[in-house]
Structure 1
């Protein structure tokens, strides 16, 4: 976190230095006083040794860092044990010094769906809201942006990111263990914002979209991916309790409702560039998650429905320009 402060002038955020310094100090104190699972994740991270990779590849579907030959057998064993203790690995895949992390989500599939449609990322200031372990941040870093900033409040995802960054020391990729609500007001700053798999967890989606809009440069591009209904009838699903066994799902809009939300939040030139039903090829249980996955969330007699009887998960990608 402190490394970001060292680069704050380069990123033209000097006017927010005091706010970032206070925020980072608060988060550092919180991590230093960690208990329970948070303490466990921190200790696992601290035990994983630094290694210098002979290969770094963000351009291909597997984010690859190092080769098996970079480590001794004992070092490889210790690294495997540490990575295993940081389960579940939701996003990926990664290959770290020959250790393949077969994540729950085949995140490259979403990246390939959106990449042909978005603006060139070279030289841009990018934010990734809900960045998880950084898979999409590292894929974006392959396109030479000025800066990629991830926001990830979930502790185990954040420490997964820290482990990966430990081997990289990328000076233009950062992550803070905060939610979007905690981000200081850097008005009209970001050129590209990724918000993927987040909005349906918010009870006030338009309010969040407005907040995102306020943080973006005029003409900046929002890349929004969300659960949707495959209609254009101004309909919105509000689950009574759970959706696909998730408790914190609020509004699942149809395509027209999502466009209306974006418009009301100040965006223009709104496009839906992809609608894809989530498949068991893209989301599935592996030994790196040790929990249920998509197969367990769907009705075994009708896989087009969730176990609660709602329409099964369909995700759409929208692009929108900040006005």
Structure 2
């Protein structure tokens, strides 16, 4: 599922070429820690997917791979139905959407909306070496490539996300975009001083028991004059305002700290970041995060007060997300 030969070739032309062997060892260690056969199951599934000719693809306006006409010419209706059924075995599809040979994978999150809000504020991504921490199934990694990135590495420990990414990789062919089943704690502490040009961390910080340590770890992965794109849940308030839920937040157990925007900016400043700029603050709606036929578990609507969508079921402020761009 992971082509380390291609990874080595792609990373060799980047400022972080020195971590190639470290990453391979880290993934081998992660494989040894897996105690069930989920990854083997998904690998078998992907290998059994039909070989399809990809005539066109678009990673600029979305993630669109192949077209319906090509699919119709290569698969009959029964084969197409099986193709869709196989893709749905990887439920839940969280981040997207994807258009795969005319098949609309309608994911829980409209991740394209988030990208559209962020991309106008980013430095030109052309020729940049990028790390996406907690990348999910890699949707935004493909958008980064579409924006001209030279090399994109996504890390996320979920085996299912790795499998979803591998499907897109199968049909897009060799591209300088890779996903490894690692967490940020699995990344090297002694990074080369060159480091990554841009590091993304979106939807991760509030899951960390120590947000300051997470920010410092992100900083460690950046090169000189590197750019951090940090997106997380926030609340209203001054620089001293931080919410720590008693138990669950929007029915999520693993939520620890929700700072105000000003507190988040202060955290970044104390960690040594400069040029700190909050570029977007948006309350998540039930139209941006919702259940679909590709993710039919409960979603945001089930986690909000049915009488007041500005509050969670627990009575906390409804999810609001801020994106901050900062430099070292």
Q: TM-score, normalised by structure 2?
A: 0.92
Task: Identify which of 188, 191, 195 aligns with 1:186.
Answer: 191
Q: How does 1:75-154 map to 2 (within 5 A)?
A: 75-154=79-158
What is the CA distance between 1:156 and its match in structure 2? 1.0
Deviations 1:2-44 (A, max 9, x none): 131233322244433432332233345567xx62544433332
Q: Does 1:177 align with 2:174?
A: no
- Per-residue CA deviation, residues 85-131 of structure 1 (Å, 9 max, x unaligned), is 00111111111011100111111111111111110000001111111
- Is the CA contact (8 Å cut-off) linking 1:5 and 1:20 kept in structure 2? no
Separation in structure 2 between the aligned mates of residue 231 and residue 144 of structure 1, nearest angstrom? 37
1:273 Cα deviation after fit:
0.9
Give the Å deviation of 1:282. Answer: 0.8
Match among 302, 312, 316 for residue 296 of structure 1: 302
Deviation at 1:214, TM superposition (A): 1.2
1:228 to 221, 225, 234: 234
1:118-163 alpha-carbon deviations (Å, 9 max, x no partner): 1000000111111111111111101221101000111111110011
Alignment of 1:55-66 (within 5 A): 55-61=56-62, 63-66=63-66
**Maintained 8 Å contact 1:239/1:251:** yes
CA distance in 1, matches of 2:53, 2:285: 37
Question: 2:291 maps to what in 1?
Answer: 285
Q: Is the 8 A contact 2:27 2:182 kept in 1?
A: no
Residues of 1 paired with 2:54 and 2:290: CA distance? 29
Counterparts of 1:273 and 1:8, CA distance in 2? 30
Deviations 1:146-187 (A, max 9, x none): 101000111111110011111112431111010011012423
Asked whether the equivalents of residues 230 and 314 of structure 1 are also in contact (C-alpha less than 8 Å), the reply is no
- Aligned residue for 1:320? 326
Cα separation, 2, equivalents of 1:43 and 1:265: 44
Instruction: Report matched runs for 1:213-224 at 5 Å.
Output: 213-224=219-230
The alpha-carbon distance between structure 1 residues 262 and 81, as it changes in their structure 2 partners (threshold 3 A), is same
Whole-angstrom distance in 2 between the partners of 1:162 and 1:101:
15
Count of residue pairs brought into register by the alignment = 319
Report the Cα distance in structure 2 between the residues aligned to 1:221 and 1:35, rounded to whole angstroms: 38
In the superposition, the TM-score normalised over structure 1's length comes to 0.94
Q: Mark the runs of 5 or more structure 2 residues left unpaired by the alignment.
A: none
SS of 2:96 mapped into structure 1 = coil
Between the aligned partners of 1:267 and 1:233, the Cα distance in structure 2 is: 16
Matches within 5 A, 1:158-169: 158-169=162-173
Pair 1:294–1:269, CA change in 2 (3 A): same
| 2:290 corresponds to 1:269 | no
